[in-house]
Structure 1
C-alpha cells in the first residue's frame, strides 16, 4: 500500500475514534454542584479562617400538591480551616456537592479579620481560580461577616446580589460608595505600595445595606485595615479621587445652620477633578481643580432670578465644597494615605522627581501643601421658577 493510501487510512481511523470519544469523561453533572451566591470571611475563636457560604437551593415541587415549595431558595454553611481552599473542601464534604463559584456576587470580609490579617491571604484563592467572576464586589463589614448572610434581601433574590446592587446604586446616584472589584485589588496588589479604599458597612439593621456606608482604608503590601473613613467624608473623598458620579449638596440657610433646619439642595450631575503636583523649593505642592455642574432641587431661602443671584448661589456651593475637601485632605495627610493618586501622577509624568520622592513618600505626602479650587456651574433651576415655593413676590 502506498504511503499516500496509508495516510488516508490513518486519517479515517482517527476520525472514527474521535467520534467515539465525544463524551466528557470528567464532566460533573449539575446536580453535583453547590452554587455559591456570596461568601463571608471571619476569624474563628482559635485564629483560623471561618468561611460562610450562601448556597443556592432550587425550590422543589411538593410531591402531593405539585405546588412550589415555600422553602428558602438558599442556605448558609460555615467551615473552618487555615486556608480558604481547605475550608471550601470541608464545606463540600458536608454538603455532598462540589462548591461552584461562578455565580458569586460578593465577598464579605469582617473588620476584625481586616485589622489583624492581610486581606490578600483570602483574595488569592479567588483570583487564582478561573471560576469566580473578576468583577465580584469586595466589602468590609462591622461585626460578624457571616451574620450578614442571614439578612433577608430587600429586592434581589440573594444577599450577595443585594449588596452588589446597593453599592453600585450608591456609587452611581448618591455619591456615598464605590464599587471595588476583585480585579481592582489584584492590580493594586502588584504595585510596590498602594493605598486604597474598600466599601465599609458600619451597621446592619433590617436591610442588608445600611443607609450610611463609608470606606475602609487599606495599604498594600501590608494589606491590613488602616482606618475607617468617617461617613461625613465619604462623598468628598470620592470627589478628590475623581470617582464621584452623582449626588447632592445641602446648603444651609444662614451661617452655622447645619442641622437641616432651612436647607437647600443642589444636585451634582457631573464632577471632574484634576491633580497637578509639582515641586517648589523641594516642597511638594498639589493643586486640585474641581469642575462641578448641577441643578437646583430644593429652594427655601434663596431666589435665583438674576445673574448676580446665580453667582451668589454657586459661590456658596463652591465655598462649602472647598472647605469639606480641604478637611478631607487634612484627614488623608494625617493617615499618610495617598488614595488620591498623587504618587501615580508623579511616577507617570515626573519619573525623575519620583525616584527621589519615593524613598520617604508617606512623610512627603503628609507635609505636602494642597491648593483646591472649585468652580460650580448651575445648569438649571428646575421646572418651577428660581424662587422658593413659599415666595410671595412673583418672579
Structure 2
C-alpha cells in the first residue's frame, strides 16, 4: 500500500502544477487590430483610428455586394492611452494588438508631437510586437485606412507589403519598426528615418512610398525627397537591391538626355572618421557592383568602353551623394549617425562636443569616393537592342 502511495505522489504533484483553462478567452472575445492611425485635431486633441479585422468577411478581388474584411473605429482623446482604451466602447471586444501591421502617423502630428513619447504606450504593451512598422503620411493618416486594398484583405497588410517589396527590390524606402525608432532616437545622434507615404488621388486610390521623414530629437524635422533616398540608403548600408538610373554620356548628341540603368547586386559603404583633424574629416567609400539593366544610347563591346561607363556612373553617384550630404549639413540633421560613431570611437570627445554637435556636423568635411564594377552587360553583346 505504501508502495502504491509513493508511486502516486509524483503524479499528484504533476497534476497540481498543470495550469488548466481557468483564465482562457475565446477568439470571439477579441478584436484583432491590423493597423492604427494617429492625427491631431484642430483643437489639439489626438484622433485615433483603429482598423479591426473581421474574419467572417472576405475581400481581395471582392465580388459585387460583398463586404469589406475590416472595420475602422475612431476615438478622440487627450492621450494615446485614453484613446486606445475607448476603442472598447465602440468595438465591443477587447483589442488584440499582436497582429498589428502598421502605425500611421499624420505629418502634422509628427511635427507637433514627440514620436518616441507617443509610441510609449505601444512599447509598454506586451501584446504589441516591436517589429510593427511605422509610417508618416502626407495629410491625414486616417484617410489611408479607408483605402480599398488591391490584393490583401486589409489596407494595413497592403502597406506592410509595399514597404517590404520596395525595400527589398527597389531601394525606394526603408523598413522602420517601433524598435528601430526607439534605438535610433535614444542614440547619440537622436535621428531616425521613417517611410513617408502619399496617396494617389486618382481612382482607385492607392498609397505609395514617397521619400523618408527625418525625425530629429523626437519630431519630424525634414522630408528626404524620393530622388535622394537611394543615396542615403547607400551611405547607411540599407540599400538592399534596385536600379540606379543615370543619364547617357554627354557627347553633344540628343541622346545625352536619355536615361540608362544599373541593376545592383552589392552596395557597401565604409565610413572612416578622423575627428581630431580641423575641421573633422569623414572619408566615405561606397562600392557598387551590378549588371546593366537598360542601355538606351551606350555600346559596350570592349573593356575600354566598360571602364568608361563605370567612371561615368561613379561620377554621377558621387555628385548625388555630395549634394545630399550638403543638404543634410545645411539642415543640421545627422541622418548618417556620425555622432554615434564619434561616441563609439572617443566618448570623451563626444561629451565635449555633444551640446554643439549640430553646428560641428554642419562643418565636417566629407570626402566621397565611389567604386563601380559592372559584372555583366546583361546581353551576349553590350549593345542596345535597337543599336546599329
TM-score for the superposition, normalised by structure 1: 0.88
Q: Deviations over 1:313-334 (max 9, x none)?
A: 0011000000000000001101
The equivalent of 2:176 in structure 1 is 180
Query: Are 1:366 and 2:362 matched, yes or no?
Result: yes
Which runs of no fewer than 5 residues in structure 1 stay unpaired? 62-68
Change (3 A) 1:127 1:391: same
- Residue 202 of structure 1 contacts residue 214 of structure 1 at CA under 8 Å; is this kept in 2? no
Aligned residue in 2 for 1:137: 133
Match of 1:299 in 2: 295
Distance 1:381-1:169 versus aligned 2 partners, 3 A rule: same
Q: 1: distance between equivalents of 2:44 and 2:346?
A: 45
- Counterpart residue number, 2:41: 44
Q: Which residue among 196, 200, 206 is the counterpart of 2:192?
A: 196
Report the equivalent of 1:278: 274
- Aligned position for 1:225: 220
Q: Give me the whole-angstrom Cα distance separating, in 1, the residues matched to 2:16 and 2:352.
A: 66
- What is the DSSP-based 3-state SS (H/G/I as helix, E as strand, rest coil) of the residue aligned with 1:201? strand
Q: Cα RMSD between the aligned structures?
A: 2.7
1:345 to 333, 341, 345: 341
Aligned equivalents of 1:49, 1:285: Cα separation in 2: 44
Query: Which residue of 124, 130, 137 corresponds with 1:128?
Result: 124
TM-score, structure 2 length as denominator? 0.90
Equivalent residues of 2:144, 2:199 under 8 A apart = no
User: What is the SS of the residue equivalent to 1:283?
Assistant: coil
Q: Secondary structure at the match of 2:320?
A: helix
Aligned position for 1:31? 28
For 1:244, the equivalent position in structure 2 comes to: 239
2:52 maps to 1:55: yes
Match of 1:382 in 2: 378
- Tell whether 2:321 aligns with 1:325: yes
* Contact in 2 for aligned 1:154/1:207 (Cα 8 Å): no
Deviation for aligned residue 1:86 = 1.2
1:119-142 CA-to-partner distances (Å, cap 9, x unmatched) read: 123211111011111111100001
Indicate if the aligned counterparts of 1:171 and 1:178 stay in contact, CA closer than 8 A. Answer: yes
CA distance in 1, matches of 2:220, 2:10: 62
Contact preservation (8 Å) 2:169, 2:240: yes
* Offset from partner CA, 1:78-119 (integer Å, 9 cap, x none): 011122221122111222111110010000000010011111
Q: Separation in 2 of the partners of 1:164 and 1:259? A: 39
Q: Per the alignment, do residues 60 and 387 of structure 1 end up closer, same or farther by CA in structure 2, a change over 3 Å counting?
A: closer
Equivalent residues of 2:246, 2:261 under 8 A apart: yes
Any gaps of 5 or more consecutive residues in structure 2? 59-64
2:265 is aligned to: 269
